[in-house]
Every structure is written in C-alpha cells, then in structure tokens.
Amino acid sequence: MRILFIIPYPLRQAPSQRFRFEQYIDFINQNNIITDFAPFLNSKTWQILYKPGSNFQKTKGIIKGFLNRFILLFKLGKYNAIFIHREACPIGPAFFEFIIGNIFKKKIIFDFDDAIWLHDVSEANGKLGWLKNPGKTEKIIKYSKLVTAGNDYLSSFAKDFNSNVFIIPTTIDTDYHKKIAATKKKITIGWTGTATTIKHFELAYSILNKVKIKYGEKINILLISNKPAENAPFEIEFQPWNKDTEIEDLCKIDIGIMPLPDDQWAKGKCGFKGLQYMALEIATIMSPVGVNSEIISDGTNGFLADSEDEWLQKLCLLIESESLRNEFGKKARETIVKYYSVESQKNKYLEILHNAAKS
C-alpha cells in the first residue's frame, strides 16, 4: 500500500505537520504502508516566506510550487490514497483537489487543524493574505473520501459536507517530550509559537506587566519563537526556535501560558502549545477557548483563566507555590500520555489510513 502526502510545508519544519502526522510516519511505514511526500514550498522559500523583503525569491518559490503540483498529477497512478493536509495549493480554488478526487478518482484523506474556512490573517502573513481562499475548504471536504479533524469544533464543521469524519487530536511524542532538569535562578513564565500567532502572546502584555511589577527580578519572561515580540512594556528573553534544542529551551519554563481571544478562529485551535508544556510537566495556564477546556481540568492538571483578574490571580498562585507547579506538572503529563500522545492515537490513525486506502 502506498500513500502520497500532499503538504504545504517542507518536512520537519512546521508545527502543524510535525504534530498532526509526521510523528506517525515511522509507525505507518512499519505497518506496510509506503509514504511519499510532496510539499508545496521548498525549504528555501519556507525560510523567507514571513520575513520582510525577498519578494522575487518568494514569488519564484510559489510559482515553482504551483508548477510542481501540475507535474504531480501525472504521478498519482501508483498511490492507493492521497493524504492532503490543509490544502494542496495556497493559490486559487480547490482545483487540484477536484482533479485528484473527481477526474483521477483517487481517494482523498483530508486533514485540518484550524478553522481554515475563515479568513484569518496575522501581521506576519498579511501581505500574503490575498493568496488565501478559505471558501474552498468545504469543497475539499466534499471531494474527500474521509476527513480527520483536530477537535470537535472542526469536526462539526466538516460533518456538514462529509459524513465520514474522524477526530484525531494533535498529539505529542512523549518519548521525545521528556522533562530535562534545568538550573534556574528565576521563575520563568514562557510562551512558544510562531510569527503568525505571536499576536496571542501580546494579549498577555498587561497581565505580565502587572506580574513583573509585583515580583520584579524574581520573574523572567521567555519567548520561544521565530520572531521577537514588539512593544512589550517589560523585558523579554527571546530564544529563537531551534528544532535541535526545542526541548531543552522549553524546559527552562516553569509556567507555560496560552492566552487566546474568544473568537471563531481560536475555537478551532488544537491546544498545541498547552500540550507541549503539559508533556514536559510544565504548570500550564490556558484561556478556556475551544479544546483547551477539554485538555485542562481547572485546578487539577493546570489552570483555565478568562478575565485579566483571573489570569493574574492564578499566575500568582503558581509563582508563589513550587509544590503546586510540580503537582500540576505531574498531572498534566499523565493527561497527555493517556489522551494526547502518539502512543494513545497511533492504532486509530493506522486504522483510518488502511480503511481509506482499501475501501
């Protein structure tokens, strides 16, 4: 059996791909499924896509990706199924998905982990917003043999257009995500993310500023990202994201935060930041938006915080109690292992792929 993964980004680079399906590849291969990959963007284009300038190189890379999609159509014959993560192409309508599913009659497994039917544009990708065509999501779902969605909110949307929908949560490789002891002189409150989500970290500026005023030099604020924060009213330690050191860097955090706005796009998020913190036994506070309220049992394996006062109160509790941080960390790890680990989902994932390819 052979499955082609049509993906937006190069392998081992983008969080959505790493934690949606790349972690399962070795297990899938060990169970007699050959996997091939066709990213739209090459590594060079991906590295510069959200950085200022280099417009010619970006345009060249996107055109190359578009042409490669046409060439790919002539190679589909050897595959039992086609796995598409988010979309085959960021340009235009669901053209390639239509051809793959309706002309070539290939079975499509469509996977998505955000409310991509909405037009959400960050400051980082604002200039590329014209490339997005969120209205095509429902058509891709219709063209697909089955759909895997990251949470119930996304699944509910997909079921309006396809009855064959399965929930596969974003998962963590708990063999890779293991706590590393770190020497710390200060209590570190941390956030990790990318240029496209750093606006969510900025939601916590007012809260974190009050924490810094109250506790002073006792507190360190750590940002792990591919872009530094701007206009913060307090000092931030910036750690550029690095695949080789990501676990070591995350383990510098004592309290991990995931603030979100209560909007339709945020409801589609799959709690990835929180899952990473929790797998590493980091005490976690998240906004009670979407799947976060399922991941966190408030006061047992972490905190949910809505208002600014609630955020401040619960941050203070964790800052002042190392034992509470440790208790939450251990309970959080247990939650991830049981419900949100690769080990907990891998057989379900394999069954879905087998059924799609054979039916």
What's the chain's length in residues? 359
Per-residue pLDDT, 324 = 98
**Is pLDDT above 70 for 127?**
no
In this prediction the pTM is 0.88
Looking at per-residue confidence, does 119 or 126 come out higher?
119
Residues contacting 321, CB < 8 A, separation 6+: none
Least confident segment among 54-58, 155-159, 355-359 = 355-359
- Mean pLDDT, to the nearest integer, of 137-166? 96
* Mean residue pLDDT across the chain: 92
Burial per residue of 81-90, b for 16 or more beta-carbon CB atoms within 10 angstroms, e otherwise: bbbbbbbbbb
pLDDT digits (tens, 9 = 90+) for 229-273: 989 999 999 999 998 999 999 999 999 999 999 998 888 898 999
Amino acid 120: pLDDT: 60
Mean pLDDT score, 70-98: 94
pLDDT at 53: 78
The dihedral sign for the CA sequence 118, 121, 125, 131: positive
Confidence class for position 359, pLDDT limits 50, 70, 90 = low
Average pLDDT over residues 348-358: 89
How confident is the model at residue 347, as a pLDDT?
96
**Alpha-carbon span 78 to 104, nearest angstrom:** 12
What is the arithmetic mean of pLDDT over 318-343? 97
- Greater confidence (79 vs 134) lies with 79
Structural domains of the chain in order of their starting residue, each with its CATH number:
2-171+342-358 (3.40.50.2000), 187-339 (3.40.50.2000)
Closest CA to 91 of 113, 61, 112, 114: 61
Helices (H), 216-321: 246-250, 264-267, 272-279, 292-295, 308-320
